[in-house]
Amino acid sequence: MTGRNLPPLSLHVPEPRFRPGDAVDFADFDMPVAGAVARPEIGTAPAEMRDHSYAMVRVLDDQGHAQGPWDPRLAPETLLKMLRHMALVRAYDERLYRAQRQGKTSFYMKCTGEEATSIAAAHALDYDDMCFPSYRQQGLLIAREWPLVDMMNQVFSNKGDRLKGRQMPIMYSARQANFFSISGNLATQYPQAVGWAMASAARGDTRISAVWCGEGSTAEGDFHSALTFAAVYRAPVILNVINNQWAISSFSGFAGAEATTFAARAVGYGIAGLRVDGNDALAVYAATQWAADRARGNHGPTLIEHFTYRAEGHSTSDDPTKYRSAEESTNWPLGDPIARLKQHVIALGIWDEERHAAMDREVAELCKAAQRESEALGTLHDGLKQPFDSMFEDVFEEMPWHLKEQSQQMRDERKAAGI
């Protein structure tokens, strides 16, 4: 029966606060106090941690001092290594971005402003722990000291590319670094990471897994299937959500940010949830360490929302000036992760501006030298780098008869064509 006196239904369409040309004002941003969030015991039941999904773990205050129970109290050498790795990934991004603009590769994605979410996390994990990245976690490889030349070879799809040009640029794979192959399909890595963690537990191993996705990917079915299995089997896995405020060209509201936090996804599944300042390297390290200890202690999974900001475009195919204000990145209230860690180590007296400037020059030269070495093996300009026969390889352990026939047919046709 139609309710004649009822108001007509209306549909809510989320709208970002600032559009191109708008003045940006974050004055009403409720800045969480550094050190104010309690640090639960490792075995705390998820139901007792509900507030942690709505608060925000912060360690560094505005003066760069570490505050509160989440301070990981890292050794000076660890702090400086994290700082260098973050500077290195930013320098790496800058060189590959320019290479794409020069036509040397077809595609690239920077992680500017999000470096702490992978670098600090990698330092808090054991090297043997398995990482299931999305496409903006190149910092995991850099933190694990993977060769820059090998990474660049993959981006250029040259003859040194171990993946033989079969993956899009930046979709790395490094089994020896416990770095799972990146997939362009959103959130497929989530059930894979949970399954890997379940297998590790079933074998009685001690290794855990960690997985990353963007906040937009939490709308994918794979994300929710993974959380169901992780909760039911208490899989030893860390589920990272990088809330950088923007998906490809739609803001986080389309993934549900207007209604609640992304860490709150954990509440409905009975999983421990943490919301962390993703631009605070110490907070990221501490939360990851806590979640890793929880997983190793058989207390189950943890979902961590890293609240950060995508300072650059989604990729080299994207123009963020078409959908957001140019002032957002410079006015982001949580600052820049490298600048904040730099401020912290200077305040500790273990670093200074001169050494920082020298480090920036050193990592820039390191990336320049790696690029020169990689480009010697070819770039997009140079055409095909892999032999045609390779398209039939690496699918089966032993090539079946029908692929042998097709491979031979290809060779015959190319020979007849004089190629």
330 and 313 within one domain: yes
417 and 337 within one domain: no
What six digits make up the tokens of 181?
A: 């192959």
For the stretch 369-416, pLDDT in tens is: 999 999 999 998 887 778 888 888 888 999 999 999 999 999 999 999
CB 320 within 8 A of CB 114: no
CB 60 within 8 A of CB 364: no
CB 58 within 8 A of CB 34: yes
pLDDT (average), residues 80-97: 98
pLDDT tops 70 at residue 3: no
In a domain, residue 375? The reply is: yes
Spatial separation of the C-alpha atoms in residues 370 and 61, rounded to whole Å: 36
Question: What's residue 1's pLDDT?
Answer: 55
Spatial separation of the C-alpha atoms in residues 111 and 135, rounded to whole Å: 9
97 and 183 within one domain: yes
Q: In the predicted model, what is the mean pLDDT of the chain?
A: 96
Question: What's residue 230's pLDDT?
Answer: 98
**Amino acid at site 52:** H
Q: Cα-flanking dihedrals φ and ψ of residue 210, to 5°?
A: -135, 140
Burial class (CB in 10 A: 0-12, 13-18, 19+), 238: buried
Question: What's residue 2's pLDDT?
Answer: 58
Residue 91 belongs to domain spanning = 46-382
Question: What's residue 331's pLDDT?
Answer: 94
411 and 336 within one domain: no
The residues assigned a catalytic role are 310, 314, 323
97 and 56 within one domain: yes
411 and 262 within one domain: no
Spatial separation of the C-alpha atoms in residues 94 and 152, rounded to whole Å: 12
pLDDT (average), residues 197-212: 98
Q: Which residue has the higher pLDDT, 115 or 5?
A: 115
Q: Give the chain's domain count.
A: 2
319 and 412 within one domain: no
Question: What's residue 361's pLDDT?
Answer: 98
pLDDT (average), residues 245-271: 95
343 and 304 within one domain: yes
pLDDT (average), residues 81-109: 98
Among the residue ranges 2-11, 124-133, 199-208, 259-268, the one predicted with the least confidence is 2-11
Radius of gyration, alpha carbons of the chain: 23
Please compute, for residue 234, the number of CA atoms within 13 A of its CA located in the half-sphere on the CB side.
10
